[in-house]
């Protein structure tokens, strides 16, 4: 379900908000989980089953990781959600790389038949960071499974981020169940949602309709230049619009989500660009990959590794691999 559809704006959202504010404060997190799972379930039963299974696993894995505090236990725990991400997002591409034949693909058909579950990269990274932080003692293990499920499945950020850290949202979720009367910032919420809708409809979708008319092979030089530039703007306005709407929707439920873009196309260097584009991903890669590989002690190697990871994170294909490496 897309944020810009009439079904979402005029049916799902009003019903979800009404249920949230009518419910007793002790049940607000449960309402968030239920409406978030319903929202995600609209993309398919298999995707919903995978999300629910991953949430259940995260609850159990956090207990084991905290109990034993062993590196190998942590590696096994994070390998499960990362393994699921690999199966659904990268398995087909990997089989192409190794030249797997129809027989091998037949054995793996039960996975290959499914469309990539929406948002799996985002909630996988959130679970991995949560497990690492619990093991490192950055935070205590969350003993309320409903609260943890709300963190992972909160629908405004579920499909396209931002990538949350549990410590960013934990106290906000506690406040929802503690305060009897909530005071959402509806004025700013409507502002963010309206701007997001405008960017999505009048910029991203409009540019896409023009971009799709061009044939890169037969078009002239100016048309080809327009196709390149418009593609860059489409990616930005589409993602930025979603992020703005996510922030606005979060405010309706009294949840502050982090900003994910800071005018990246005004950057004067690649380093500055990645501090302004998809900020939560950049800082996730810095904190959970770059610094743990040694940071500046092996700068060139580590930069190559994290940007290869960044490229492959965005999609399964040689184009993403080459783009990340470049």
Reported as half-sphere exposure (CB side, CA atoms, 13 A), residue 299 has a value of: 1
Residue 215, pLDDT > 70, answer: no
Catalytic-residue membership of 214: no
211, 214, 278, 314: which is the annotated catalytic residue? 314
Interatomic CA distance for residues 311 and 270, integer angstroms: 14
Rounded to two decimals, the pTM is 0.91
Residue 216: what pLDDT? 58
For the segment 274-288, what is each residue's pLDDT rounded down to a tens digit? 889 999 999 999 999
CA distance 197 to 15: 20
Q: Is the pLDDT of residue 243 over 70?
A: yes
Q: pLDDT tens digits for 295-326?
A: 888 899 999 999 999 998 888 889 999 999 89
Ranges 38-47, 53-62, 95-104: which has the least confidence: 95-104
Q: Distances in Å between the alpha carbon of 89 and those of 77, 116, 118, 163?
A: 19, 6, 10, 18
Burial 97-123 (b: 16+ CB within 10 A, else e): eeeeeeeeeeeeeeeeeeeebbbbbbb
């Amino acid at each position: 379900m897309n944020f810009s559809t009439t079904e979402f704006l005029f049916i799902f959202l009003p019903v979800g908000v009404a249920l949230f504010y009518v419910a007793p404060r002790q049940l607000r997190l449960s309402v968030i989980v239920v409406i978030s799972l319903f929202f995600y379930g609209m993309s398919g039963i298999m995707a919903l089953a995978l999300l629910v299974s991953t949430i259940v696993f995260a609850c159990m894995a956090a207990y084991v990781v905290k109990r034993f505090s062993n590196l190998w236990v942590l590696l096994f725990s994070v390998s499960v959600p990362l393994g699921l991400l690999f199966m659904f997002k990268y398995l087909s591409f990997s089989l192409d790389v190794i030249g797997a034949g129809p027989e091998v693909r037949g054995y793996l058909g039960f996975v290959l038949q499914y469309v990539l579950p929406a948002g799996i990269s985002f909630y996988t990274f959130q679970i991995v960071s949560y497990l690492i932080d619990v093991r490192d003692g950055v935070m205590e293990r969350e003993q309320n499974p409903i609260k943890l499920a709300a963190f992972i499945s909160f629908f405004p950020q579920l499909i396209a981020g931002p990538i949350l850290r549990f410590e960013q949202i934990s106290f906000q979720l506690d406040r929802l169940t503690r305060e009897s009367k909530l005071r959402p910032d509806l004025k700013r919420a409507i502002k963010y949602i309206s701007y997001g809708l405008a960017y999505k409809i009048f910029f991203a979708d409009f540019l896409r309709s023009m971009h799709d008319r061009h044939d890169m092979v037969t078009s002239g030089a100016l048309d080809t230049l327009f196709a390149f530039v418009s593609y860059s703007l489409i990616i930005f306005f589409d993602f930025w619009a979603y992020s703005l709407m996510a922030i606005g929707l979060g405010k309706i439920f009294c949840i502050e989500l982090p900003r994910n873009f800071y005018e990246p196309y005004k950057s004067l260097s690649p380093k500055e660009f990645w501090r302004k584009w998809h900020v939560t991903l950049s800082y996730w890669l810095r904190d959970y990959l770059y610094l743990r590989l040694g940071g500046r002690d092996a700068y060139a190697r580590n930069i190559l590794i994290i940007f290869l990871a960044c490229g492959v994170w965005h999609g399964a294909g040689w184009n993403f691999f080459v783009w990340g490496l470049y």
